[in-house]
Structure 1
Amino acid sequence: MNKQAPTFAIIVGEHSGDTLGAGLISELKKHYPNAKFVGIGGPKMLKQGFDSLFAMEELAVMGIVEVLGRLRRLLHIRKSIVNYFSEHKPDVFIGIDAPDFNLTVEQRLKTQGIKTVHYVSPSVWAWREKRIFKIDKATDMVLSLLPFEKEFYDRHNVACTFVGHPLADDIPMHSDKLAAREKLGLANDAKYLAIMPGSRGSELSILLPDFLATAKIIKRQHADLQLIAPVINDIREQQFKQIQQEHAPELDIKIITNDTQTVMASADCLLTASGTVTLEAALVKRPMVVAYKFNWLTAIIGRIMVKIKWFSLPNLLANKTLIPELLQEQVTPENLANHVEPLLYQDQSQLHDEFVAIHNVLKQNASEKAASAVMQLLK
């Protein structure tokens, strides 16, 4: 190892991982300003000087059936990555999320004496619990974002450090609704519903038609309701507009690109896909209804294998039902509207207090703690 300029290999598979990776790189640079960072990363990591060998979007696939359709390409990328890092050995390899891809890479590199870290625990506490043994073989350290994950690893004597969640560090305890509306040019005195069907193209295709139909139902009773939607890039914006034109051309929706957190702060309620965004929404302290649909075969397999009461992060962290969750056949416009309407028009101060408690638990200077754990491995 070059103590002044170590090489950190990092692989992320989606935008939430890109945020974690960028935070980690920023902290590591404070200690190793000449370090090299290489692997697969997104735009935030690229801004930090990261060298990405493949486009991050190539790994952004969810669902068993969906992965099968891209399997040949994914296997090619994985083989190429393993070969590259076998030849150009990094001082440490850090797989951020994307466990089905990263754990195999980690295991193969660890056998070659390369230190390996997995940042963001796979949901072993929810399904396929025996993966804990593969994780133990593949990694020198797991960095967990959630406190109950650390407890699970401790029970199995697998090295794990709870670092908290970078979102809890970045998002203020109070997200000013009026300031967010002023930034986006929204009316101060209107009710706003944020329509958030996900960042992946497949999620928009599956969820957005139901979300639009939900908005139409609510607007029949509340004609003054305003609609706003965040999208992550121009490609998703065009897809959103095409789906809206087909299913609800009469709806007036203000679409905002690449400013999801401000959109959430400006809204009175969110209708959102599942994922990290639900945690972000809880930290912004906004009521939400969470929905998700899988390919039918993925859904059948998931119901057999998954063993948890909830699938959204706010409910899992609270260990109780804070927010409505609708899955698969439950995701109908009528069901969604029945859950969204009271969150828009009834007092939600108790829910706000629950979200504050979650925020306090997760606010741990995560990127700094993650970097510290990685540096301990190097030493």
Structure 2
Amino acid sequence: MKGDTWAFVAGESSGDLLAGHVLRALHHRAPLLRTVGIGGPRMQEAGLEAWWQSERLAVNGYADVLARLPELLWMRRRLRQRLLADPPAVFVGVDAPDFNLQLERRLRQVGIPVAHLVSPSIWAWRRERIDLIRQAVDHMLCVFPFEPAIYADTGVKATYIGHPLAEVIPLEPDREAARLALGLPAHGQCLAVLPGSRRAEVKHLMAPFLEAAALLVKRGLMSQVVVPIAHPGLKPMVQQAAAQHPDLPLHLVDGRSHQVMAACDLALVASGTATLECALFKRPMVIGYRLSALSYRLMSGRGYLPDVGLPNILAGKRLVPELLQHECTPQALADAAGDLLEQPAILRQLQDRFHDMHLSLRRDTASLAAQALLDMARP
């Protein structure tokens, strides 16, 4: 490759979203820059030449990884061969640490500068990754303010750039405009059902989330239910689950998850980036998560924090309910949501905490990331 070609690898929709903003800022500063690699629609809209789609890297839990391991290893091997045969000026891994870190280590060994956008959550679990990060990464771009201190004694440069979503999502979301755009009634309580962007997440969470939604509608606590479908590959699964609830006032939406979050009064949401997005939209939520039995057994005991939801982790306390694995039942989800909806004072406190959280994460993230990458690329 020529010196004006950089490679990016992002896994799943959240990485595609984060990297899309950074790519736009990068191309604004370096219009002749060519960017290639693995990405989704937002990265491609921002100028990425995609060799593979990022959704092919989206896996959930050890069991899902094991099932797709031959495919993932083949893809990483082919990508590594291609990058080593024609090296980019810079490689940027975006999240997806299980795929990216080993690839980054090999590229760095031959002198390719490596940056990684979004620090692996070693503060939450799998701290042993710090040794691999030290070998693999020149510059870690951190999206949470407490993360650079983790790398202080590792030799890895770390820069807090803020979280891109905090800049994209407005401080005061317009619920009325979002409902109008989605064709939803202006009045009445609206529930967002956000089962994740991975096939395994939708497989495990769609049914209990919709059953909980049906209970909330039956209790008169919700009048509309909206499900944004993260990408077209998930549509048949979502439609099949929705068909089990023909009487539910259900709206399926292709993408547009941010409009759905802005429109809703409460969300049932899979643990992950979407929990932070809901917090930035100032919406109360109940966090749920399920893995296969094998994945849950393998992952149990490897965490270091009492909470898994990003709003709870950032607050350092349990702000919103978390129902994981066997606790993630329709009844428990509906009860937790009902408890929130019936406590206006708690809802106001949540909105205030989420507003403060938004301000703490708000930086000119895309510009800071682009400048850090360009500085790293200079001789």
TM-score of the superposed pair, with normalisation by structure 1:
0.95
Q: How far apart, CA to CA, are the structure 2 residues paired with 1:292 and 1:205?
A: 11
Q: How far apart, CA to CA, are the structure 1 residues paired with 2:365 and 2:106?
A: 27
Q: Secondary structure of the residue that 2:338 maps to in structure 1?
A: helix
Any idea what the Cα deviations from partners look like across 1:310-360, whole Å, max 9, x if unmatched? 101111111111111110011011111111013234311110010011101
Q: Report what 1:83 is aligned to.
A: 81
Query: Which residue of the other structure, out of 327, 331, 340, is the alignment partner of 2:328?
Result: 331
Q: What's the offset of the Cα at 1:295? A: 1.1
Q: Secondary structure of the residue that 1:148 maps to in structure 2?
A: coil
Q: Report what 2:377 is aligned to.
A: 378
Is 1:237–1:255's contact at 8 Å kept on the other side of the alignment?
Answer: no
Is 1:126–1:308's contact at 8 Å kept on the other side of the alignment?
Answer: yes
Q: Report what 1:283 is aligned to.
A: 280
Tell me the amino acid that sits aligned with residue 358 of structure 2. Answer: H
Q: How far apart, CA to CA, are the structure 2 residues paired with 1:216 and 1:352?
A: 26
Is 2:190–2:222's contact at 8 Å kept on the other side of the alignment?
Answer: no
Is 2:284–2:320's contact at 8 Å kept on the other side of the alignment?
Answer: yes
Q: Report what 1:253 is aligned to.
A: 250
Is 2:40–2:53's contact at 8 Å kept on the other side of the alignment?
Answer: yes
Q: Secondary structure of the residue that 1:37 maps to in structure 2?
A: strand
CA spacing shift, 1:223–1:142, aligned 2, 3 Å:
closer
Q: How far apart, CA to CA, are the structure 2 residues paired with 1:136 and 1:111?
A: 12
Is 1:191–1:344's contact at 8 Å kept on the other side of the alignment?
Answer: no
Q: What's the offset of the Cα at 1:224? A: 5.9
Is 2:196–2:230's contact at 8 Å kept on the other side of the alignment?
Answer: no
Is 2:268–2:286's contact at 8 Å kept on the other side of the alignment?
Answer: yes
Q: Report what 2:30 is aligned to.
A: 32
Q: Secondary structure of the residue that 1:279 maps to in structure 2?
A: helix
Any idea what the Cα deviations from partners look like across 1:230-266, whole Å, max 9, x if unmatched? 11234433321211223x2221201121211111111
Query: Which residue of the other structure, out of 102, 105, 112, is the alignment partner of 1:114?
Result: 112
Query: Which residue of the other structure, out of 52, 55, 60, is the alignment partner of 1:54?
Result: 52
Q: Report what 1:65 is aligned to.
A: 63
Q: How far apart, CA to CA, are the structure 2 residues paired with 1:141 and 1:359?
A: 25
Q: What's the offset of the Cα at 1:61? A: 1.0
Q: Report what 2:350 is aligned to.
A: 351
2:289 is the alignment partner of 1:292: yes
Q: CA RMSD in A?
A: 1.6
TM-score of the superposed pair, with normalisation by structure 2:
0.95
Identity percentage of aligned residues = 39
Is 1:231–1:255's contact at 8 Å kept on the other side of the alignment?
Answer: yes
2:334 is the alignment partner of 1:340: no
Is 1:205–1:243's contact at 8 Å kept on the other side of the alignment?
Answer: no
Q: How far apart, CA to CA, are the structure 2 residues paired with 1:24 and 1:368?
A: 7
Q: Report what 1:368 is aligned to.
A: 367
Is 1:193–1:269's contact at 8 Å kept on the other side of the alignment?
Answer: yes
Q: Unpaired runs of 5+ in structure 1?
A: none
Q: Secondary structure of the residue that 1:54 maps to in structure 2?
A: strand
Is 1:169–1:363's contact at 8 Å kept on the other side of the alignment?
Answer: yes
Q: How far apart, CA to CA, are the structure 1 residues paired with 2:179 and 2:48?
A: 34
Tell me the amino acid that sits aligned with residue 112 of structure 1. Answer: V
Q: What's the offset of the Cα at 1:155? A: 5.1
Q: Secondary structure of the residue that 2:52 maps to in structure 1?
A: coil
Q: How far apart, CA to CA, are the structure 2 residues paired with 1:343 and 1:286?
A: 11
Is 1:173–1:284's contact at 8 Å kept on the other side of the alignment?
Answer: yes
Q: How far apart, CA to CA, are the structure 2 residues paired with 1:269 and 1:14?
A: 24
Q: How far apart, CA to CA, are the structure 2 residues paired with 1:65 and 1:204?
A: 15
Q: Secondary structure of the residue that 2:308 maps to in structure 1?
A: coil
Q: Report what 1:187 is aligned to.
A: 185
Query: Which residue of the other structure, out of 5, 16, 19, is the alignment partner of 2:17?
Result: 19
Q: Secondary structure of the residue that 1:146 maps to in structure 2?
A: coil
Any idea what the Cα deviations from partners look like across 1:157-203, whole Å, max 9, x if unmatched? 53211111110010110001112112222222201111111122221
CA spacing shift, 1:226–1:94, aligned 2, 3 Å:
same
Q: Report what 1:9 is aligned to.
A: 7
Q: How far apart, CA to CA, are the structure 2 residues paired with 1:223 and 1:154?
A: 49
CA spacing shift, 1:177–1:345, aligned 2, 3 Å:
farther
Q: Secondary structure of the residue that 1:57 maps to in structure 2?
A: helix
Tell me the amino acid that sits aligned with residue 305 of structure 2. Answer: I
Q: Report what 1:126 is aligned to.
A: 124
Is 2:12–2:197's contact at 8 Å kept on the other side of the alignment?
Answer: no
**Bigger Cα displacement from structure 2, 221-230 vs 21-30:** 221-230
Q: How far apart, CA to CA, are the structure 2 residues paired with 1:281 and 1:213?
A: 21
Q: Secondary structure of the residue that 1:338 maps to in structure 2?
A: helix
Query: Which residue of the other structure, out of 303, 316, 341, is the alignment partner of 2:313?
Result: 316
Residue correspondence of structure 1 range 89-168 to structure 2 within 5 A: 89-154=87-152, 156-168=154-166
Q: Secondary structure of the residue that 2:287 maps to in structure 1?
A: strand
CA spacing shift, 1:336–1:32, aligned 2, 3 Å:
same
